[in-house]
Amino acid sequence: MDADRKQPEEPKVLAFCCMYCAYAAADMAGSMRLTYPPNVEIILVPCTGRVEIHHILEALENGADGVCVAGCEEGSCHFSVGNLKAKKRVAYVKTLLEELGIDPDRVEMFHISASQGPLFAKVASEMTENIRRLGILKWNKQRG
Amino acid sequence: MKAGSKLEKILTSGQFAVTGELGPPRGADVEVIKKKAEHLRGMVDSINVTDNQTSVVRMCSMAVCKLLLEMGLEPNLQMTCRDRNRIAIQSDLLGAYALGIKNVLCLSGDHNKFGDHPQAKNVFDIDSIQLIQTVKQMRDDGKLLSGQECEGVPKFFIGAAANPFGDPFDFRPIRLAKKVEAGVDFIQTQCIYNMEKFREYMKRVVDMGLAEKCYILAGITPLKSLGMARYMAKFVPGLDVPDYYLKRLAGVEKKKQAEEGIKIAIEQIQEVREIEGVAGIHLMAIEWEHKVPEIIKAAGLYPRPEVN
Amino acid sequence: MVVAERKPIKEILAMMAEYKKILLVGCKGCVTVCCAGGTKEVGILASALRIAKKKEGKEFEVIERTLERQCDPEYIEQVASIVENDGIEAILSMACSVGPQYLAKRFNVPVYPALNTTFIGGALEHGVWAEFCQACGNCVIHHFGGICPVSRCSKSLFNGPCGGSAGGKCEINPEVDCAWHLIYERMKALGKLDDMAKVFPIKDWSTSRDGGPRKVVREDMKL
Interchain CB contact of C51 with A (< 8 Å): yes
pLDDT at residue number B114: 86
Instruction: Give the pLDDT band of residue C11 (cuts 50, 70, 90).
Output: very high
Q: What is the pLDDT of residues B81-121, one digit of tens each?
A: 999 999 999 999 999 999 999 999 999 999 999 899 999 99
Q: Is residue A79 part of a domain?
A: yes
Q: Which among C47, C53, C56, C61 is the top mutation candidate for probing chain A, defined by the most A β-carbons within 10 Å of its own β-carbon?
A: C47
The radius of gyration of chain A's CA atoms, rounded to the nearest angstrom, is 14
Q: Dump pLDDT digits (tens) for C130-176.
A: 999 999 999 999 999 999 999 999 999 999 899 999 999 999 999 99
B110 touches chain C (CB under 8 A): yes
Is residue A5 very low, low, confident or very high in pLDDT (cuts 50, 70, 90)?
low
pLDDT number for residue B181 = 97
Task: Give the 3-state secondary structure of residue B107.
Answer: strand
Question: Which pLDDT value is given to residue B14?
Answer: 96
What is the tens place of the pLDDT at every residue in C87-129? 999 999 999 999 999 999 999 999 999 999 999 999 999 999 9
Per-residue pLDDT, averaged over A92-97, amounts to 97
Closest by CA position to B42, among listed B78, B64, B74: B74
Distance between C201 CA and the closest CA of chain B, angstroms: 7
Using a CB–CB cutoff of 8 Å, tell me whether C184 touches chain B: yes
Whether the pLDDT of residue A2 is over 80: the answer is no
Domain ranges in chain B are 6-223+263-298
Query: Is the predicted pLDDT of residue A6 greater than 90, yes or no?
Result: no
Mean pLDDT, chain C, integer: 96
pLDDT, position B308: 77
Instruction: Report the percent of chain A where pLDDT is more than 70.
Output: 92
Out of B122, B126, B238, name the one closest to residue C202 (CB): B126
User: How open is the CA angle A139-A140-A144, to the nearest 5 degrees?
Assistant: 130
pLDDT in tens, B38-57: 999 999 999 999 999 999 99
Q: How far is B31 from chain C (nearest CA, A)?
A: 33
**Cβ–Cβ contact B282 with C under 8 A:** no
Average pLDDT, chain B: 96
| Within-domain flag for A34 | yes
Task: Tell me the domains of chain C and their CATH numbers.
Answer: 2-118 (3.40.50.2300), 134-210 (no CATH)
The string of pLDDT tens digits covering residues A36-80 is 999 999 999 999 999 999 999 999 999 999 999 999 999 999 999
CA distances from A60 to A56, A88, A116, C1, C12 (A): 7, 18, 27, 34, 20
Tell me if C51 and A102 make a contact (CB, 8 A cut-off).
yes
DSSP string spanning C149-192? HHHHSTT--SS---TT-BTTEETTEEEEE-HHHHHHHHHHHTT-
Is the CB of residue A33 less than 8 Å away from at least one CB of chain C?
A: no
Interface touch C167/B129, C-beta < 8 Å: no
What was the ipTM of the complex prediction? 0.93
pLDDT tier for residue B223 given thresholds of 50, 70 and 90: very high
Q: What is the share, in percent, of chain B residues with pLDDT greater than 70?
A: 100
Mean pLDDT of C20-38: 98
User: What is the reported pLDDT for A144?
Assistant: 47
Q: Which domain holds residue A26?
A: 13-116
Please check the confidence at residue B203 and state whether its pLDDT lies above 50: yes
The count of domains in chain A is: 1
Residues in B touching C181 (Cβ below 8 Å)? 167-168
Q: Where are the alpha helices (DSSP H) in chain B?
A: 6-12, 30-40, 61-70, 86-98, 128-136, 172-182, 195-207, 226-235, 243-250, 257-273, 292-298
* Per-residue pLDDT at A142: 65
Check contact C-A (3+ Cβ pairs < 8 Å). yes
What is the band of B240 on the pLDDT scale with cuts at 50, 70, 90?
confident
Examine residue A86 and state whether it is found in any structural domain, yes or no. Answer: yes
Confidence (pLDDT) at C190: 97
Tell me the C-alpha distance between B88 and B82, whole Å.
11
Tell which wins on pLDDT, A3 or C50: C50
- The answer to whether residues B205 and B174 touch, using CB atoms and an 8 Å cutoff, is no
CB contact under 8 Å between C162 and B237, yes or no, is: no
Residue B128 has pLDDT above 90, yes or no: yes
How many Cβ contacts (< 8 angstroms) between chains A and C?
42
- Residue A3 inside a domain? The answer is no
Chains B and C touch (3+ CB pairs under 8 A): yes
Question: What are the chain B neighbours of C196 within 8 Å (beta carbons)?
Answer: 171, 174
3-state secondary structure of B251: coil
pLDDT number for residue B133: 98
Looking at per-residue pLDDT, the higher value among A63 and B236 belongs to A63
3-state secondary structure of B79: strand
Q: How far is it, in rounded angstroms, from Cα B176 to Cα C197?
A: 9
CB within 8 Å: A138 and C54: yes
Q: Compute the distance between CA of residue A22 and CA of residue A26 in angstroms, rounded to an integer.
A: 6
% of chain C beyond a pLDDT of 90? 99
pLDDT band at A143 (very low <50, low <70, confident <90, very high): low
- Average pLDDT of C170-190? 95
If you measure CA to CA, which chain C residue comes closest to A140?
C54
Whether the pLDDT of residue A34 is over 70: the answer is yes
Pick the residue from chain A with its C-alpha nearest to C7. Answer: A99
Integer angstrom CA distances of residue B296 from B186, B225, B268, B281: 21, 19, 12, 10
Class of domain B6-223+263-298: alpha beta
What's the rounded mean pLDDT across residues B69-91? 98
On whether the CB atoms of residues C23 and C82 are closer than 8 A, the answer is: yes
C-beta of residue C104 within 8 angstroms of C-beta of residue C133: no
User: Looking at the predicted structure, is the pLDDT value of residue A7 above 60?
Assistant: no
B293 touches chain C (CB under 8 A): no
